Amino acid sequence: MVRVRRTGRVRAAFAFGLVAWLASTSAHAEEVTVDTTENTAPPPPPPAAEVALRPIVVWPTLAPPVDEVSSGAGLHKPTSSEGTLYTRAQELDATLRDAVQDLGFTLDVADPGPSPFRTHELDIVERASRSSSHGGGPTDAGTWVLSARLEPLGGDTFLLRMIAVPPKNKQLRMRVERVSGADVSVRGLVLLRDLLSNRSVAGGDTGPVPQASAGAGIMAPLHSQGRAVLAANAALFGAFTAYSIQRASGSEDPRLLYPLLTLGTGLGLGTALLVAEEFDIGTGDAWTLAGGAWWGAGAGILIANGRHVQPLTDRYAWGVGGGLAGITFTTFLLTRGHMDEGDAVLVNSGAALGLSLGSLAEFFYVGDIQNRTPYTGAGYGAAAGLLAGGTLAAFVQVSPSRMMLVDLGAGLGAAAGAALASPLVFENLTQEKTRGFVAATAAGTLLGGGIAWWLTRERPESNVTKAGASRLLPMGGVIGSSATREGSVPAYGVGVRGTF
């Protein structure tokens, strides 16, 4: 008999090989036994793939009523009539359900969530004591329960509160954070990771929490998510800088141009990667820096053209200087805090609006829109718009969709103003008529943008509730049914629904 004690997988494999060899070479061996009994130490833990998946229940995101503390009473599932709150809640629910499965939990899809009358924290504790909605008993292993609460704070800002209860535990784990609308899902992932990875202090050991696979990578936000945007724009700006230097030197030799382009592109790309590695550069941060570089460069070239800088090749140097000034300004903004996508759109939209209004200002000053290109006004306007947009982004929280609607409103307002004043420029064009046309266009731009900004504002829920009629929504399609011998027949119609 050959007796082998297993103290590791390598030793066990060697023992099995030795047994096989002895069995094949010894004709007198009557029995070969491998004893894998461990007497001195427990067996090594099984690999992660063999760890049993843990059950978890993810209840739908709830919203507390306005003017009440969200202690559990009055919580409700957001409805489609609640607009942005409903959309964010749906996004958060889908994200959390996917995330817990990526972490190795088994999602109980048969649990639809609490009823409207069972939304208190005690209901979460009670549900955690049962592995299924109909389970229970001393032998029941219980389940994890996760419940998220989303409360609008005005504007595009929410208070995100997440509660988790381990199986058969009476300890509530809670995380609370103030987040913007665009970051609800992302911050929800971070809070979820914290809740499911920390052990209970007073409730005892709840066992190891399954970890996400290395390839999942969704629970912790990636470092410098704007790395690609920053690298692409930095490489292009480096190439532009190298080309501008070559042009400003007066040389047109391609043997100098191509090495300079390669060097400039490499320096820009390398600098961007180093910055993204050292600092956490988000997508909004990257587009803000890119906007500062390109709008600054454009403003510099436009001003140089308006000032008739000679020789012409020196105007590229003005562009590089303007771009560096824009990068300096946007970098200063980032030292005050991160910029999200809405802030980036605001910065770029401010520069574009400034360019348009600056051009109109020059047209108004000279009283001529046919024989003059407004380089100077466009350049100074773009620079002023970049400064104004960046400054406003540091103090105002706005979503990308709202800024796009404001841009659309400004454009439509400009078109409407130009259309109304178009008879002034049809015939007998004078400076006074030209100035009237330009003034109407500029006024339409500002009025359209202002109206769009006012219409897209986030109104407090209390005001909406008091305004009864504002809760009315049109509806159409099947509004009822009639019972017949052949079955139920739908009734079609149109109407309104909401709070009267």
User: Angle between the 314-335 and 375-393 helix axes, to the nearest 10 degrees?
Assistant: 10
> Using an 8 Å Cβ cutoff, are 110 and 218 in contact?
no
Q: Residue 475 CB: number of other CB atoms within 10 A?
A: 13
> Using an 8 Å Cβ cutoff, are 358 and 379 in contact?
yes
Tokens of 239: 């190439």
- Structure-token match 């017949």, residue found: 484
3-state secondary structure of 473: strand
Residue 148 is classified by DSSP as E
User: Which of the given ranges, 69-78, 95-104, 471-480, has the highest pLDDT on average?
Assistant: 95-104
Residue 71 is classified by DSSP as S
| d(C-alpha 60, C-alpha 147), whole Å | 7
Q: Give the pLDDT of residue 36.
A: 36
User: Looking at residues 416-445, what average pLDDT do you find?
Assistant: 90
User: Which of the given ranges, 115-124, 165-174, 332-341, 409-418, has the highest pLDDT on average?
Assistant: 409-418
Q: Is the dihedral of CA 380, 381, 386, 389 positive or negative?
A: positive
Question: What is the band of 469 on the pLDDT scale with cuts at 50, 70, 90?
Answer: very low
pLDDT > 50? residue 199: no
Residue 235, amino acid: A
pLDDT digits (tens, 9 = 90+) for 52-92: 457 888 888 888 765 444 444 567 888 888 888 888 888 99
pLDDT > 50? residue 115: yes
pLDDT > 90? residue 384: yes
Report the length, in residues, of the chain: 500
Of the candidates 473, 462, 477, 480, the one whose C-alpha atom is nearest the C-alpha of residue 79 is 473
Q: Which of 7-16, 51-60, 325-334 has the lowest mean pLDDT?
A: 7-16
Write b or e for each residue in 148-177: b if 16 or more Cβ atoms lie within 10 A of its Cβ, otherwise e: bbbbbeebbebebbbbbbbbbbeebbebee
Q: What are phi and psi of 491, to 5 degrees?
A: -115, 125
Question: What is the band of 480 on the pLDDT scale with cuts at 50, 70, 90?
Answer: low
Question: What is the band of 478 on the pLDDT scale with cuts at 50, 70, 90?
Answer: low
Question: DSSP labels for 154-170?
Answer: ETTEEEEEEEEE-TT--
Question: What is the band of 466 on the pLDDT scale with cuts at 50, 70, 90?
Answer: very low
Q: Give the pLDDT of residue 354.
A: 95
Could you tell me which residues come within 8 angstroms of residue 443 by beta carbon, excluding any fewer than 6 positions away?
Answer: 417
Tokens of 165: 């209860």
pLDDT > 60? residue 5: no
pLDDT > 80? residue 390: yes
3-state secondary structure of 212: coil
Q: Give the pLDDT of residue 472.
A: 55
The residue that leads in pLDDT, 383 or 157, is 383
Which segments of 171-224 does DSSP mark as H helices, in order?
A: 184-197
**What angle (nearest 5°) sits at the alpha carbon of residue 458, between those of residues 454 and 464?**
105
Q: Give the pLDDT of residue 66.
A: 54
> Going from the N-terminus, what domains does the chain have, and what CATH number goes with each?
1-44 (no CATH), 52-197 (3.30.160.40), 227-398 (no CATH), 468-497 (no CATH)
User: Looking at residues 216-239, what average pLDDT do you find?
Assistant: 79
Could you tell me which residues come within 8 angstroms of residue 135 by beta carbon, excluding any fewer than 6 positions away?
Answer: none
pLDDT > 70? residue 198: no
